[in-house]
Amino acid sequence: MNCSLIKNNRGFFFSISVIILILPLIVFISFYKHIPETQMKDTISRLRCDKINFFVEDIKRDMSRAMEISVKRALVSAFEYVVETGKGLENYTFNCSKNCDFNCSDFEYNMNGSTAALTELTLCGTLYGKNHSKMKNHTFTLWFNKILNHSTRMHYKVNFEILSMDMGHRDAFTIYSSPKIRLGIRDVNGICFYDDIIEDIEANTSIIGLQDPLYPLNTNRFVWKTIINCSIESPIREKIVGCSKDNISNGSGRGWVIFYTDIGGTPGDLNNYCVNTPPKKIANQILVFDDALPANLCSSWPNIKECLNSSSPAHFAGIIVYTPADLSALCNATIPWISSTGDLDDFPGSPPRATSCGINSNENITNESCTYITTNHDCNIHKVGLGNKSGIIKTKCYTVSDINETYNIFCSEKYKNGPSFLDRLDGRLNLSEKYVEQTKKRYNTTLIGIETFVDVYELKNYSSIRINKNNTIVDYLFWQNVKGCPVLATCEDRGYAIRLDCPHVLKYNMDTVCISSKGCCGDGICQTWLGEDCGNCRIDCPLCPDGCPNVLAIINCSTCSNPSNCNLSYILRIYDNKNNLIDPSEYPLINITYDIPPGASVDDTMMRGGIGIYNYTIYNVNGNKKAYANITVISSGCPTITNSTYPIRVNTMPSC
């Protein structure tokens, strides 16, 4: 009896549960049946219209990418045309032919030159109305036709018209392209539509990795050069080996060393050398009087006077005299000269060289070493340094050309900025106002020109390319035959000496025999335009730029097992101009001189111990001897800074 009741109760509850679950469904269906038909149509229409809006946004995004790809192909195609014809595109006009897959009557284009050619290639795939092979299947209009085919499958009717095209420089290394397009989209049922003029599409195409049109245009198409955006930095590092104790010198010059004693060591030998040596050879030599200057040097040997006269067709590049001498003792020489330097070669001699002008005592001049004399009377500079072959100059980088804004003001000769990439496609050798004004109006900048160094040694491989040896190596000025002065710390290499014009001497911080890029340290003015910075003139430039090493704090310490056996350590902390620890881009270089006297040294890189913290240890050093360290920190884009410790006996240093 009880069991039957329980079963009946379970069935009752199950039935109730089913009714509760079904009831909402019945109510929903009843409600749905009573929705007005017009409201249903509105909901469907809204969904279809939203779908069209999403489709438009997708088209805009894809349009920018397609334009970028098409312009890249157009740039390559335009360069190919320049190479094939040997002609620039300066006078090119847009051709809207039957090959253009859009309505030419609706298209407006009023620019000429390379942008006209690039626009035609991008939209039509043609140059002068003829199909270009590089643009096959890569035009912007072909991409949009694919969109039209896709839209048909989505049951849309699309109307697409290109109304105009704007193209120019966004910056020195980027080309922008911005089409003006009328776009109409309707669904097949005529419920929803989109109809508007689109003007906010912009594609930015990099020129990095492309070939520079200026090179085939100016080398009979023999030489090509790839555009690489990197800093043009001087590889020249000052190596001063001596200076005049009496502060006597005149002029600046450079050349290969020839010692007076190697010539023969007598006035007669020197006279014969002047007579018999080819003028081209002697003009690239620095004569070093490494012995006592003869008293009768000028009186009995007329050809020697000619060798020391800058107006003579055969004269030395300069004179170095170890002993004191005035102008009369040097036959009233008009070539660069310096006296009273002391012995600068690697053979023991006298008098000793001066040590008060920042010399590197480990360096010496040798026979045929590249050596230079530098004089700056305003700064009381009278020095001798070691240079390098001209071939040391790197020529791969391109950089923004800005001499008109920054450096022309300091020079009597003034030049325009280098041509932009579009100017180079046009065949121009200077920056044109046309592209400058266009970029200024759109992006508020005028720095769109680029420049690089010409590799004259590559040009020498082609006999049909004329090279003027007196030209500056800055490419766009080189092709205009603008003269330059020889870079001071470089000597002629393979028949060519690297030269620079005045504004670029200041820009690249490379002294020439005509002008110094450096200011006078200590005048209270941080003359960055003349090469002064916190690394070479802290008194005028107390702070390094933001993000650069600014202060080198050095601690020396030792750990000694007994007074004569110690481990010598140096700990370096590098701070920026806000007193934060900072890592440079390269590991610090340390030079340790220890065991003084007699003197031994170590050159090495320091070990990193944390952010901005570096250390170096030498083991088993004689603790009774003195030691000191010189540390150099090099960081990309920053001044090179140094610091040193005082010599101190190792076993008296603080304990590590």
Question: Greater confidence, 291 or 485?
Answer: 485
> 3 by DSSP, 3-state: which?
helix
The stretch 478-490 carries a mean pLDDT of 95
Q: Which of the four CATH numbers 3.30.70, 2.60.40, 1.10.3470, 1.25.40 does domain 551-652 have?
A: 2.60.40
Handedness of CA 468, 473, 477, 478 (dihedral sign): positive
Cα–Cα–Cα angle for 515, 518, 520, rounded to 5 degrees = 115
Assess contact for 45 and 191: CB atoms under 8 A: yes
pLDDT grade for 41, boundaries at 50, 70 and 90? very low
Question: Would you say residue 220 has pLDDT above 50?
Answer: yes
Q: What is residue 16's predicted lDDT score, i.e. its pLDDT?
A: 65
Tokens matching residue 464: 């049909």
Using alpha carbons, select from 320, 357, 326 the residue that is nearest to residue 342.
320
Helix/strand/coil percentages in the chain, nearest 5:
30, 25, 45
Query: pLDDT (tens digit, 9 = 90+) per residue, 614-630?
Result: 999 999 999 999 998 99
State how far the Cα of 347 lies from the Cα of 353, in Å rounded to an integer. Answer: 12
pLDDT grade for 7, boundaries at 50, 70 and 90? very low
Phi (first) and psi of residue 189, to 5 degrees: -90, -5
CB atoms within 10 A of CB 432: 19
Query: pLDDT (tens digit, 9 = 90+) per residue, 53-111?
Result: 888 888 888 888 999 999 999 999 999 999 999 999 999 999 988 888 888 888 888 88
CB atoms within 10 A of CB 298: 18
Question: Would you say residue 342 has pLDDT above 50?
Answer: yes
The stretch 411-421 carries a mean pLDDT of 94
State how far the Cα of 186 lies from the Cα of 182, in Å rounded to an integer. Answer: 14
Q: What is the pTM of this model?
A: 0.73
Question: Would you say residue 596 has pLDDT above 90?
Answer: no
Segment of 155-169, 345-359, 418-432 carrying the highest mean pLDDT:
418-432
Task: Write the CA distances from 163 to 105, 143, 377, 647, integer angstroms.
Answer: 9, 17, 65, 77
Query: pLDDT (tens digit, 9 = 90+) per residue, 124-138?
Result: 999 998 999 889 888
The stretch 593-607 carries a mean pLDDT of 79
State how far the Cα of 360 lies from the Cα of 94, in Å rounded to an integer. Answer: 63
Query: pLDDT (tens digit, 9 = 90+) per residue, 385-404?
Result: 999 998 888 899 999 999 99
Q: What is residue 644's predicted lDDT score, i.e. its pLDDT?
A: 86
Q: What is residue 273's predicted lDDT score, i.e. its pLDDT?
A: 96
- Alpha helix stretches (DSSP H) within 409-474: 421-426, 433-443, 456-459
Q: What is residue 341's predicted lDDT score, i.e. its pLDDT?
A: 92
Minimum mean pLDDT among 125-139, 255-269, 345-359, 556-570: which range?
Answer: 345-359
Distance of CA 345 to the CA centre of its chain: 37
Report the phi/psi class of residue 595: left, alpha or beta, with left for phi > 0 and alpha for psi in -120 to 50: left
**Domains of the chain, residue spans:** 34-206, 239-386, 392-508, 551-652
The angle that helices 37-85 and 114-124 make with each other, rounded to 10 degrees, is 130
Handedness of CA 26, 31, 37, 42 (dihedral sign): negative
| Whole-number percent of the chain with pLDDT over 90 | 56
Residue 187 CB partners (closer than 8 Å, separation 6+): 48, 52, 155, 156, 157, 193
Tokens matching residue 574: 């590098």
The stretch 454-483 carries a mean pLDDT of 94
Question: Would you say residue 222 has pLDDT above 70?
Answer: yes
CA dihedral of 170, 171, 172, 175, whole degrees rounded to 10:
-20
Task: Write the CA distances from 495 to 34, 317, 390, 505, integer angstroms.
Answer: 98, 15, 10, 22
Tokens matching residue 295: 């008293």
Residue 354 CB partners (closer than 8 Å, separation 6+): 242, 243, 244, 245, 341, 342
Report the CATH number of the 239-386 domain.
3.50.30
Q: What is residue 32's predicted lDDT score, i.e. its pLDDT?
A: 42
* Mean of the per-residue pLDDT values of the chain: 87
Beta bridge pairs of residue 573 = 553, 613
Q: What is residue 37's predicted lDDT score, i.e. its pLDDT?
A: 38
State how far the Cα of 506 lies from the Cα of 530, in Å rounded to an integer. Answer: 6
State how far the Cα of 342 lies from the Cα of 347, in Å rounded to an integer. Answer: 12
pLDDT grade for 285, boundaries at 50, 70 and 90? very high
